[in-house]
Amino acid sequence: PPDFLAATRGKRYPMAGSARTLAVMIVNDHPIMRDGLRLAVQNEPDMRVVCEVASQVEAIDQFNSCKPDAVLIDLQGCSSPGFLAIRAIAHISPSTPIVILATFADEATRLGGLTLGHTICLSKTATPVEVLEALRTLATAFDRNPSA
């Protein structure tokens, strides 16, 4: 599969405006994974976690109240047919970047996930740096509110 992050590897992409932080929603059914993802995001000066949920239904229910700039979602935690949360979020807010973590990076492509909104699918073997770069890359490319 193509390496979507090759051009950005090792670079910092601050959000528009120096005070801007990227508000991230984490969707993962495993507490230890949510904890690790939260720590990775919170250690970045230009990012913050605004919401953590353990299920697709919670992600859909809390999306509007959390108002994330980007979503980091585990594909296996979204195993119901049709990528329920990914489809719903892409419908509610088509410009919201979604980074999908999957066992195999091409899994979301095969299942149609990359046709929904602005998405990048990464293998669960991705490093924290690669996950953070994916969030920044998508958020920068599809910044919904550059004056914020």
pLDDT in tens, 73-83: 988 755 554 47
Residue 71 contacts by C-beta under 8 Å, 6 or more apart in sequence?
24, 25, 27, 59, 63, 89, 96, 97, 98, 99
> Distance between alpha carbon 5 and the CA centroid of its chain, in Å?
14
Side by side, the strands of the sheet bearing 22-27 are 47-53, 22-27, 70-74, 97-102, 118-123
In this predicted structure, what is the pLDDT of residue 2?
43
Given a contact cutoff of 8 angstroms between Cβ atoms, the answer to whether 3 and 137 are in contact is no
pLDDT digits (tens, 9 = 90+) for 2-21: 444 444 444 444 444 446 79
